[in-house]
Amino acid sequence: MDHAALLTAAREAAHNAYAPYSHFPVGAAIITTTGEIICGCNVENAAYGEAICAERNAITTAVAALGPNIQVDTVAVVGLQAAPCWPCGACRQVLREFNCRGVIVEDESGSPIQLPFADLLPHSFGPEALHSPDDHGEH
């Protein structure tokens, strides 16, 4: 899938956002390493901390649909009120959990900007950092 098509899927998802408090609708589209495309949008809540961002919505939807072993090739993120609209820190960490390889957003003119995920979250913490004592030969 080309970058423009993935951004279009994210933009369409943003139109479904539930953002009555921030008025900042965001959509995300992920493509897995096996080619499935899953979209998500932000869903706010009167208890602000219970809101979910578009990127995490897409990931949780992908896990529910495809299982816990999904791997994310690329995520596209579109904010209808601002460009570029980069993933927040929490979303970056969740995307990292599923080995996201790339991120695409739009610049102010609507053109794609692509970055390797490692550039967006360098020196990241991931599952491999959680070693049990047995992993090091200790008991």
- 115-138 per-residue burial string, b: 16 or more CB within 10 A, e: under 16: eebeebbeeeeeeeeeeeeeeeee
Please tell me whether 43 is known to bind a ligand: yes
Active site (annotated) includes residue 108 = no
Backbone angles phi, psi at 17, to 5 degrees: -60, 150
For 83, which DSSP code? S
Please tell me whether 48 is known to bind a ligand: yes
Which residue is listed with tokens 């609507």?
Answer: 110
Please tell me whether 42 is known to bind a ligand: yes
Please tell me whether 44 is known to bind a ligand: yes
Please tell me whether 46 is known to bind a ligand: yes
In whole angstroms, what is the distance from residue 138 CA to residue 132 CA? 9
Please tell me whether 103 is known to bind a ligand: no
Angle at 77 between CA 92 and CA 112, to 5 degrees: 115
The active-site residue, picked from 55, 97, 108, 128, is: 55
Are the C-beta atoms of residues 22 and 46 closer than 8 Å to each other?
no
Please tell me whether 72 is known to bind a ligand: no
Residues at the binding site for Zn(2+) are 53, 88, 91
Q: Which residues are catalytic?
A: 55
Binding annotation: 42-48, 53, 88, 91
